[in-house]
Amino acid sequence: MTTSFFNGERLIVLFFISTILYSLPFSLLSHGVSLSLLAIASFFLEISVDSSVSPFSLRTRPGASSGILLGAITLPSLILSKLIQSSRGFSLQQLQPQEIEYLTLQYWATSASVFSVLLFLAFTIKHSHWGARLSFAFVLSQAVLCVVALLTTSQIGLHPALKLSWVFFHGLASVKLIQHFMRTFPSCASIGEAFLVTAGIVLYFGDMLLLTIKKLCGLLVSSELITADEIKRSEINIIIQGIVLGLLLYPITLKYTLQIWECFINTTYSEQRRYYEIWRSLIFIASLGFVLIVVVPLWMQFVQKFDMHPFFWVLSFVFSEPSKRLSLCIYWMCIISISVLRFYKISKNSKIERILLRKYYHLIAVLMFSPALIFQPKFLDLAFGAALAVFLILEIIRVWRIWPFGQPINQFMNAFTDHRDSDLLIVSHFSLLLGCALPIWMSSGYNDRPLAPFAGILSLGIGDTMASMVGHKYGVLRWSKTGKKTVEGTAAGITSVLAACSLLLPLIASTGYIFTQHWFSLFLAVTVSGLLEAYTAQLDNAFIPLFFYSLLCL
């Protein structure tokens, strides 16, 4: 009975939560209680789903466990770790109170997203397993705690009714989004992976919505809400946020535009069906250009003062240091061109397992991103946003089969897929890019941990790669009877990350960064993230960097 309760992944996640709770200052006690209730609720709910004999209503990725515990606690734990880090900065008078308050609001909004989805899942299966009923009770307890905390604490000066409405919006949006995601892309993700994606998107949209509402309300809300300008946002942050959210919403617009156009073609110009694909492509290009050149920049200029069109601002930013930034662009283009062409030929003609072939891209990420992160971190922020935008556009073209590139892109991408991808949605390249980018984006502002921005590059580019290669070639002792991960591979991954850190820290210190990372906490962070890679059946590119980053912040 105990074995069925505590598998390797659950034990690591519970230890991870315990580490965060141990590091909590007294001022964040209510947040720690909230995280504990979420963890207990998701723990029992995961047991219910994994042990249920009846099929679950949501079709999940074959071969993966539900991952509810991992997916539910990752984002709240991450924000709580940032709160712990920020509380140190506040005690040193390096942060303003509103920055702590805004992080607190984000924490409770994320918690609302998580407990709302847990409530939805528990209600779906509450009659089939005792664990679901226990989960239901703990979720309700967490919801009560959330309401009490919002009513008794100050977040950005919001009125209590506005705070409750705000977190209710996050919860409702998360439930609707995870239902839509699992039905639109069936068998593409586990519940835990969908949990992380939907909670992250809703939090991102919520931040954008709050900023927009503030600008719309103007002076009428100034007495209720501290100005958004007091929470520092860079132009790069606004540009990335606008483009990414515009591209995430664009497929909805494209869908209805094409449906209207197809009805028009079918009824009026049926004789021109042979030109269907060409016109469809032209509509795609025109609508995408309108969104990126007109709609998105209008929002950027509305919420942030730009002296010029945001895209001209980007060009001005790049050419402000042309020798360094253009050289980086040329360096990146050469690496991408050589590696893509080389590995594509290998994938078609070689018998090397794709999972190993894809690890070479992890190493390439180290070669590309490490120099830029040390010497040009702001430019790397912008480059990550541009790369994510390109990936989103290519995926839209591939999914919608936009002529003439849709089919070739689909064939090319399928050469690098494995069992975690499907024809409906290919996510591995997104998870690698975001796994490297998110720790860097989240480290903007106050950061007293020099290795925190490198969390994704170290854990994925070095640790995960070495674990797979060494484990595949030399691994003998397996962590479980059914899994492929080996003790030798995990040990190689942990050792390689620690070795990389020992080389990286003196280099960071040479740039003027004050060293504050303790080796014990670093060893703990590397070990926990390495063991998670060994035991989890989820998409590790998405979870390992966030775990590593959270532990580095403590």
φ and ψ at residue 416, rounded to 5 degrees: -120, 5
Q: 415: which DSSP letter?
A: T
For every residue of 305-364, which 3-state class applies, written as one string?
A: CCCCCHHHHHHHHHCCCHHHHHHHHHHHHHHHHHHHHHHHHHHHHCCCCHHHHHHHHHHH
**pLDDT-based confidence at residue 190 (cuts at 50, 70, 90):** confident
What average pLDDT does the segment 384-388 reach? Answer: 93
Q: 92 or 552, which is more confident?
A: 552
Side-chain half-sphere exposure of 505, counting CA atoms within 13 A: 15
CB 490 within 8 A of CB 531: yes
The contacts of residue 209 (CB under 8 Å, 6+ apart) are none
Distance between CA atoms of 119 and 138, rounded to whole angstroms? 10
What average pLDDT does the segment 178-195 reach? Answer: 86
Looking at residue 224, what is its pLDDT?
Answer: 43
Looking at residue 163, what is its pLDDT?
Answer: 76
Distance between CA atoms of 103 and 154, rounded to whole angstroms? 12
Looking at residue 230, what is its pLDDT?
Answer: 53
The contacts of residue 333 (CB under 8 Å, 6+ apart) are none
What DSSP element (H or E) covers 477?
none
What average pLDDT does the segment 243-251 reach? Answer: 89
3-state secondary structure of 196: helix
Looking at residue 265, what is its pLDDT?
Answer: 64
CA proximity to 329, closest of 311, 317, 313: 317
* pLDDT tens-digit map of 518-543: 677 888 999 999 999 988 888 888 89
* pLDDT tens-digit map of 329-379: 999 999 888 887 777 666 666 555 666 667 778 888 888 898 899 889 999
Distance between CA atoms of 459 and 464, rounded to whole angstroms? 6
**Other Cβ atoms within 10 Å of 106 Cβ, number:** 21
Q: 318 or 209, which is more confident?
A: 318
pLDDT at 447 over 80: yes
Q: 56: which DSSP letter?
A: P
Amino acid at 13: V
Looking at residue 129, what is its pLDDT?
Answer: 59
Distance between CA atoms of 191 and 58, rounded to whole angstroms? 8
CB 479 within 8 A of CB 534: yes
Looking at residue 437, what is its pLDDT?
Answer: 93
Looking at residue 156, what is its pLDDT?
Answer: 58
**pLDDT-based confidence at residue 380 (cuts at 50, 70, 90):** very high
Distance between CA atoms of 109 and 96, rounded to whole angstroms? 21
CB 493 within 8 A of CB 461: no
Distance between CA atoms of 240 and 242, rounded to whole angstroms? 6
pLDDT at 307 over 90: no
Distance between CA atoms of 506 and 536, rounded to whole angstroms? 33
pLDDT at 226 over 50: no
Looking at residue 131, what is its pLDDT?
Answer: 64
Answer left, alpha or beta for residue 503, where phi above 0 means left and psi between -120 and 50 means alpha: alpha
Whole-angstrom CA distances from 232 to 145, 198, 202, 238 are 30, 25, 21, 11
Euclidean distance between the first and final Cα of the chain, in Å? 34
**pLDDT-based confidence at residue 436 (cuts at 50, 70, 90):** very high
CB 545 within 8 A of CB 439: yes
Amino acid at 122: A
What average pLDDT does the segment 436-451 reach? Answer: 87
3-state secondary structure of 478: strand
Distance between CA atoms of 395 and 431, rounded to whole angstroms? 13
Which range of 17-26, 275-284, 416-425, 465-474 scores highest in mean pLDDT? It is 17-26
CB 537 within 8 A of CB 9: yes
Question: Any idea where the domains of the chain sit in the sequence?
Answer: 8-223+230-234, 447-553
* pLDDT tens-digit map of 95-142: 777 888 888 889 999 999 998 898 888 877 755 556 666 776 777 777
Q: Which residues pair with 486 in a beta bridge?
A: 478
Q: Which residues pair with 478 in a beta bridge?
A: 486
φ and ψ at residue 517, rounded to 5 degrees: -85, 130
CB 203 within 8 A of CB 169: no
Q: Is the dihedral of CA 409, 414, 417, 419 positive or negative?
A: positive
DSSP-H helix ranges across 218-234: none
Amino acid at 321: E
Whole-angstrom CA distances from 18 to 23, 33, 277 are 9, 11, 56
The answer, yes or no, to whether the previous bond of 404 is cis (omega within 30 of 0) is: yes
Distance between CA atoms of 68 and 72, rounded to whole angstroms? 6
Looking at residue 39, what is its pLDDT?
Answer: 92
φ and ψ at residue 478, rounded to 5 degrees: -95, 145
Side-chain half-sphere exposure of 173, counting CA atoms within 13 A: 21
CB 459 within 8 A of CB 529: yes
Looking at residue 2, what is its pLDDT?
Answer: 47
Distance between CA atoms of 412 and 386, rounded to whole angstroms? 21
Tokens 């540009």 found at = 239
Amino acid at 510: S
Burial, 253: exposed, middle or buried (Cβ in 10 Å; 0-12, 13-18, 19+)? middle
CA proximity to 248, closest of 296, 301, 179: 296
Q: 467 or 125, which is more confident?
A: 467
* pLDDT tens-digit map of 253-302: 888 877 777 676 654 454 555 577 778 888 888 889 999 999 999 999 98
Burial, 497: exposed, middle or buried (Cβ in 10 Å; 0-12, 13-18, 19+)? buried
